[in-house]
Amino acid sequence: MEETSQDLLLDTCLLAGKVMMESGAEMYRVEDTMSRIAEAATEKKGISFVTPTGIFMTIQGSSSVKMEQIPTRTINLEKVSKVNDLSREFTTKQISLGQFYTRLRSLDNEVKFYPIWLQIVAAAVVSGTLMMIFGGVWKDLIATCIIGAIGFVIFYYGTEFFKVKFLAEFLAAFTVGLLSVIAISIGWGVSLDKMIIGGVMPLVPGVPITNAVRDLLAGHLLSGMARGTEALITAGTIGIGIAVVFRFFS
């Protein structure tokens, strides 16, 4: 393969991996996608090393190695699905390598999230419904929905302001706990523990924990431990925020 074509292939593989990693895909899925792209283009094995903060990639028999950093990580499973669709189109020869790379660049630059108001409404619904599932009563429903929505707003804007996700999670959990205590004291609720459980549910790192376990089961011990540690720190931060409320305000 010509050097320029190989460079384009490596850039394409790395970009596909970067988009998937930043969107919350599992490590083994990222490596498998990159390997399939390389094999479809060269009939040679793609050799990659993926971590939560960076990706290394080369083609078997080549001396050229490229790296791509992963500066941010979030959850956007729609992007993961789109990268998988594009890789299937490329492996079945429906699009060329150049078209594949161009469409990946467009997907990488696409900032497509649900509007904040809809995310807040979803957080409220999740808080109220899960509070009921965990044994709450109907009297607590409205207050829990409001508290969960406010906690999510604190987390969302706190992340943008502080640039430290764990601090935003602490403040959000603290707010949820404090508002729950206030709601109970003024008669808007009857079950403090159930209201707090429901209110913090939008903050719980469910997807990171799931991906950490899946990576560990797939043999990716480094990435599984890293993601699991991040999820545990998040859970611990939420717990500390609630504990502070119980210690000083309950």
For residue 50, what pLDDT is reported? 83
Cα 166–Cα 221–Cα 76 angle in degrees, nearest 5: 50
**Which regions in the chain score pLDDT beneath 50?**
1, 3
pTM above 0.95, yes or no: no
For residue 113, what pLDDT is reported? 66
The amino acid at 17 = G
For residue 124, what pLDDT is reported? 94
> Which pLDDT tens digit goes with each residue over 186-204?
988 888 889 999 999 999 8
For residue 1, what pLDDT is reported? 47
For residue 47, what pLDDT is reported? 84
